[in-house]
Amino acid sequence: MKGIRNMTTPEPIAGDLPNMPTTEDAAKARSTERLISTVLRGGVLLSGGVTLVGVMLFFIQQGSQDLGDVTKVPYPHTLGEVFAGVGHGSASAVIMLGLLLLIATPVTRIAVSILAFANERDWRYVAITAVVLVILLVSFLLGKAG
Amino acid sequence: MSSLLGLTLFIFVASVVAGGVGSLLGLGGGVIVVPILTLVLHLPIQYAIGASIISVIATSSGAAATYVRDRLTNLRVGMFLEIATTLGAITGAYIATVVFGNVLYIIFALVLLYSLYPTASRLIRDRMAVGAGARDRHAEVVVASDGLATALNLGSEFYDPAARRTVRYGVRQVPLGFAIMYGAGIASGLLGIGGGVFKVLALDSAMGMPIKASSATSNFMIGATAAASAGIYFLRGDINPVIAGPVALGVLAGSVIGTRLLARLAGGTVRLVFAVVLTLLSLQMILRGFGVRL
Please write down the HEC assignment for all residues of chain B.
Answer: CCHHHHHHHHHHHHHHHHHHHHHHHCCCCHHHHHHHHHHHCCCCHHHHHHHHHHHHHHHHHHHHHHHHHCCCCCHHHHHHHHHHHHHHHHHHHHHHHHCCHHHHHHHHHHHHHHHHHHHHHHHHHHHHCCCCCCCCCCCCCCCCCCHHHHHCCCCEEEEECCCCEEEEECCCCHHHHHHHHHHHHHHHHHHCCCCHHHHHHHHHHHCCCCHHHHHHHHHHHHHHHHHHHHHHHHHHCCCCHHHHHHHHHHHHHHHHHHHHHHHHHCCHHHHHHHHHHHHHHHHHHHHHHCCCCC
Partner B contacted by A21 (CB < 8 A) = no
Q: Do B69 and A33 touch (CB under 8 A)?
A: yes
Q: Do B224 and A132 touch (CB under 8 A)?
A: yes
Check residue A83 and report its DSSP letter: H
pLDDT band at B13 (very low <50, low <70, confident <90, very high): very high
Q: Which of B5, B215, B236 has the CB atom closest to A146's CB atom?
A: B236
Residue in chain B lying closest to A60 (CA): B5
CB B263 within 8 A of CB A3: yes
Q: What is the pLDDT of residues B140-189, one digit of tens each?
A: 678 888 889 999 999 999 988 877 889 999 999 999 999 999 999 999 99
Question: What residue type is B16 in one-letter code?
Answer: V
pLDDT band at A22 (very low <50, low <70, confident <90, very high): low
Q: How high is the pLDDT of residue A100?
A: 96
Kindly tell me the burial class for residue A100, based on how many C-beta atoms sit within 10 Å of its own C-beta (0-12, 13-18, 19 or more).
buried
Contacts with B223 from chain A: Cβ below 8 Å: 40, 105-106, 109
Mean pLDDT across B238-254: 93
Mean pLDDT across A71-81: 82
Looking at every residue in chain A, the average pLDDT score rounds to 81
- Give the CA count within 13 Å in the CB-facing half-sphere of B254: 30
Partner B contacted by A31 (CB < 8 A) = no
Partner B contacted by A123 (CB < 8 A) = no
Does the pTM surpass 0.80? The reply is yes
Residue B267 Rama label (left phi>0; alpha psi -120 to 50; beta): beta
pLDDT surpasses 50 at A21 = yes
Q: How many CB pairs under 8 A join A and B?
A: 235
Q: What is the pLDDT of residues B45-67, one digit of tens each?
A: 889 999 999 999 999 998 899 89
pLDDT surpasses 60 at A146 = no
Q: What is the pLDDT of residues B112-153, one digit of tens each?
A: 898 888 878 887 887 776 544 444 444 567 888 888 999 999
Q: How high is the pLDDT of residue A140?
A: 87
CA B177 to chain centroid: 17
Kindly tell me the burial class for residue A17, based on how many C-beta atoms sit within 10 Å of its own C-beta (0-12, 13-18, 19 or more).
exposed
pLDDT surpasses 90 at B100 = no
Distances in Å between the Cα of B248 and the Cα atoms of A42, A86, A138, B29, B269 are 16, 19, 25, 10, 28
Q: How high is the pLDDT of residue B211?
A: 87
Q: Which of B152, B229, B249 has the CB atom closest to A48's CB atom?
A: B249
Question: What residue type is A38 in one-letter code?
Answer: T
For B8, other C-beta atoms within 10 Å of its C-beta total 21
pLDDT surpasses 50 at B79 = yes
pLDDT band at B250 (very low <50, low <70, confident <90, very high): very high
**Mutate which: A19, A38, A40, vs B, most B CBs within 10 A:** A40
